[in-house]
Amino acid sequence: MPVSDKRTVLVTGGAGYIGSHACKALARAGYLPVTYDSLIYGHEWAVKWGPLERGDILDRMRLDEVIAHYRPSAIMHFAAFAYVGESVTNPGKYYSNNVAGSLNLLEAARDHGIDQFVFSSTCATYGMPDRLPITEDTPQNPINPYGASKLMVERMLTDFGTAHGLRSIALRYFNAAGADPDGEIGESHDPETHLVPLVLDAASGRRADVTIFGTDYQTPDGTCVRDYIHVADLASAHVKAVEALEANSATDVFNLGNGQGFSVVDVVQSVEQVTGLKVPVTRGPRRAGDPAALISDATKAKTVLGWDPRFAGLERIVGTAWVWHQKVPSVATLKAKEALA
C-alpha cells in the first residue's frame, strides 16, 4: 500500500537548488514529494516538505527499493551534474550520470508502471542560436557535453514514449535565479558559478570581486545578455507539468523564461540598488562558447500549461536572493555543519 493518501511524486535531485523549490511547490499543491538524492551536491537541510531517501540514480537496486516503497504516480527528474566547464574537461562524468543514470531511471519507471515523467532540461540544448527569441522549434545544437547530455535524455523520453507509452514533459529553462520568497531555502552551490550569487558575494565581501567576461559583445552595453527566471516560477511550472500529465497530456516540451534579456552590467547595477552596496568588478576576456544573448519565448508554456510567472522583474529576483544571502552563512560553513551532523 502507498505510504500516504496524497499523490506521491519521486523527485530526483530534490535536495538541490531547483529541486528543493519544486518540492515546496508540490507540497503546497497537495502532493507528497519524495526526495531521492545522492547529496553529492544537494543539501539535507533543503529537504523540508517530504521524506529524503539517499541514493544514486545509477543504483538500480536502490531505485527499485524506494519506488516499491512509495509507489509514486510520477517522477520529476532533476538529478544531474550541471557545470558546463567541467563537462568539457570531464565529459565521461556527465555522460555516465546524466545519460546513463537517466536511462537507469527511465527503465525503473517502465518496470514499475510509472507513465508520467517531468524532466529538467535546459536552454543549453540550443547551443548558439542564430535568432532570438528562442522557441521550442529552434534547432538544438548543443556546444558542450552538458547540453548534449540533456538533449540525449530528451530523445530517450521520446523513444520510451513510442515503445512503452511513457508520457513526459521536458522543461527547457533559461537562467535560474533568486530564492524562495519565504526565505526557507535558496541557492548554495560549491563551487558557485551562477552570476547573481557571485555578484552578491562580491557586494557583501565574501569574495574580492566579480569578473565580467567580455565587454565587447554586440549588446547594448557590450556584456552578455541572459534571460533570468525566478526559481519559484520554475517550481510552479513543474507542478503545472505534473498536473498536465495527470490530465492525460501527451509528451511535450516547453521553454521556461521571462522573455526579457538582462546584461551582466544590469545584474551588477540591480545588486547595487537592492543592497545599497558597491560591487567591485574586474573585466576579463570573453569565455569560449559564451553566446552574446540568450532570450526565451515561453508563450507555449503560458498558453498550454497555464503557467503564470510572478517574479519577472530583475529586482524581485535579486531581492529574494539577497534576503537568502543575508540569512545563511557561506557555503563552506554550511558544508562544515553538514559534515558534523
Active site residues: 146
For 275-305, letters b (16+ CB in 10 Å) and e give beeebeeeeeeeeeeebbbbbbbbebbbeeb
Which one, of 269, 259, 267, 268, lies nearest residue 294 by Cα? 259
Residue type, 43: H
Pairing of strands 262-263, 225-226: antiparallel
Residue 237 near residue 308 (C-beta atoms within 8 A): no
Q: Write the CB contacts of 182 (distance below 8 Å, at least 6 apart in sequence).
A: none
Exposed, middle or buried: residue 312 (CB in 10 Å: 0-12, 13-18, 19+)? middle
* Residues belonging to the chain: 341
What is the spatial distance between Cα 55 and Cα 73, in angstroms, rounded to a whole number? 19
The DSSP result for 267-311, as a single string, is HHHHHHHHH-----EEEEPPPTT--SEE-B--HHIIIII----S-
What is the spatial distance between Cα 204 and Cα 326, in angstroms, rounded to a whole number? 9
Beta bridge partners of 116: 167
Q: Residue 203 region, left (φ>0) first, then alpha (ψ -120 to 50), else beta?
A: alpha
The DSSP result for 35-86, as a single string, is EEE--SS--GGG--SS-EEE--TT-HHHHHHHHHHH--SEEEE------HHH
- Residue 242 grid cell: 505534473
